[in-house]
Amino acid sequence: MLWNHLRAKQMRGFQFNRQKPLGKFIADFYCKKLNLVIEIDGSSHEGKEQYDNDRDINLQKLDLHILHFSDLEVKKSIRNVLLQIEYWIDQNKSNTESP
């Protein structure tokens, strides 16, 4: 569902990839120019909090920023999720190259 709004440079002109290998982890969505990872956390993450925390720490060591959303947020309030991503991009894109 979120991919439909990120693909083909629809998000502020930035290219996102999905299911992108980064080190020993796979990011749900990744934008290289923004150094941004977007993770959608669903029921498959229950009981894996330590793994998720370790993943975030390792990705942050690669100078990556991580935004987390629950799968319920994406399903029930996609517009709010998109607004949060747009806000993050607007606040941080000056630290990156243009799209």
Sheet holding 65-70, edge to edge: 17-22, 25-31, 36-41, 65-70
Q: Which ranges of the chain have pLDDT less than 50?
A: none
The predicted structure's pLDDT at residue 36 = 97
- Kindly report the average pLDDT of the chain as a whole number: 90
Residue ranges of domains in the chain? 3-91
CATH number of 3-91: 3.40.960.10
- 77, with CB counted inside 10 A (0-12, 13-18, 19+), is middle
* Nearest-5° Cα angle at 69, 30 to 50: 85
The reply to whether the predicted model has a pTM over 0.95 is: no
